[in-house]
Amino acid sequence: MIRVSIYQLKTGSIGGFCMEGHADAGEEGYDIVCSAVSALAIGCVNSIETFTQAGFVEDAADDGGYLKVILKPETAEDHDAQLLLKSMVLAVSQMAESYPENLRIRHIERKNYGR
């Protein structure tokens, strides 16, 4: 099961996300849920880095199964970064509806930016 935590700020903006686990929806290398979630997360992070002024801190496991991205407080309200994050959350949420046994998403109000 992939567990996705979306960190909501008090302002309503997204402060970051964490994805943990494996979907187990198919053989390694052929798991469409894992592949799709990974592509959405990596695409979002690369787009934030390339197309926005937002800074972030990233932590990932070398062997996969874990990615945590937290926007830096001074750039958390960057409009373009928020649009990219909201787009990723929408896509992952729709996938979670289709694959509830492989993917869960939850929203957590984040009071601070501690890791």
By annotation, the residues acting in catalysis are 22, 34
The CB-based long-range contact list for 95-102 (8 Å cut-off, 24+ gap) reads 95/33, 95/36, 95/37, 96/4, 99/23, 99/25, 99/33, 101/1, 102/1, 102/2, 102/23, 102/24, 102/25, 102/33
Exposed, middle or buried by CB within 10 Å (0-12, 13-18, 19+), for 69?
buried
Nearest to 57 by CA among 37, 80, 79, 73: 73
